[in-house]
Amino acid sequence: MEAVERVKEYMKGTTTVGLTTSDGVVLVSDKRATMGTLIAHKVVQKSFIIDKHLAATVAGAVGDAQALIRWMRAEARLYRMRKGEEINVQAISTLMGNVLFSSRYFPLIVQLIIGGVDKTGAKLYSLDPLGSAIEDRVIATGSGSPYAYGVLEDAYKENLDIDAATKVAVRAIRAALERDAMTGNGIDVIKITKEGAVKLSEEEVNKLIETL
């Protein structure tokens, strides 16, 4: 019960979105970190490139999230060194789920979206603090996710290309920014295609927002 209460205490803020597209994956997040009703930080990174073909978004405790991302980056590099090829999206999601499950009695308070493009195509997984890893095509996490899903259910289509899907994902995050007090202070965007993962600059994100 203590573990469950700790999860409930920390899993309150943030909005992140992941979408699969006809040619890749897009991951989008806000930048606000909260401590209760206090806006603790306004420039928090919640979207991370793990390897050249992999990225993730995080919601939850910042320290837990940063530690997990560092760990997975190291595992992806080690896999590439040992096997001579990149780790696939399902494998890194399973590995991270195992890490979360092994910590269930003192859980790492994070919810993640992991996405990437490997030999099997574009893949997207949702992971919760107790270790489940579930594949999906549309995922939103955090306190603003109900508002984000309202946009996604209406605008997302499986045949969207990555540029069109990016606009849908940014619209979903903007809906959360407008209605969820724990979401805000800007938007981060990562696009992943067979050419690799790229994080958009603040200027590129602002230009994108102007077209919506």
Which string of DSSP letters, residue by residue, matches 34-45? EETTEEEESS--
Q: Which of 14, 16, 166, 183 is catalytic?
A: 14
pLDDT band at 29 (very low <50, low <70, confident <90, very high): very high
- Residue 129 belongs to domain spanning: 2-210
Instruction: From 93, 82, 146, select the one nearest 118 (Cα to Cα).
Output: 93
**What's the total number of domains in the chain?**
1
Judge whether residue 150 has pLDDT over 50: yes
Judge whether residue 201 has pLDDT over 90: yes
pTM beyond 0.95, yes or no: no
Q: Residue 10: what pLDDT?
A: 47
Instruction: From 36, 55, 37, select the one nearest 46 (Cα to Cα).
Output: 55
Contacts for 68 with CB less than 8 Å, ≥ 6 apart: 58, 96, 99, 108, 110, 112
Residue 57 annotated in active site? no
Q: Is 186 left (phi over 0), alpha (psi -120 to 50) or beta?
A: left
Taking only the tens place, the pLDDT of each residue in 54-96 is 999 999 888 899 999 999 999 999 999 999 999 999 999 999 9
Nearest-Å Rg of the Cα atoms of the chain is: 16
Q: Residue 105: what pLDDT?
A: 66
Contacts for 139 with CB less than 8 Å, ≥ 6 apart: 17, 18, 19, 113, 124, 126
Query: 3 vs 98, which has greater pLDDT?
Result: 98
Cα 184 to Cα 174: distance, rounded to the nearest angstrom: 9
Please state, rounded to an integer, the average pLDDT across all residues of the chain. Answer: 90
**CATH code: domain of residue 19:** 3.60.20.10
Judge whether residue 3 has pLDDT over 50: no
Whether 15 and 141 have beta carbons less than 8 Å apart is answered as: yes
Judge whether residue 173 has pLDDT over 60: yes
Expressed in angstroms, the distance from the first to the final Cα of the chain is 44
Q: Residue 103: what pLDDT?
A: 79
* Least confident among 59-68, 92-101, 166-175: 59-68
Q: Residue 177: what pLDDT?
A: 92
pLDDT band at 204 (very low <50, low <70, confident <90, very high): very high
Judge whether residue 136 has pLDDT over 50: yes
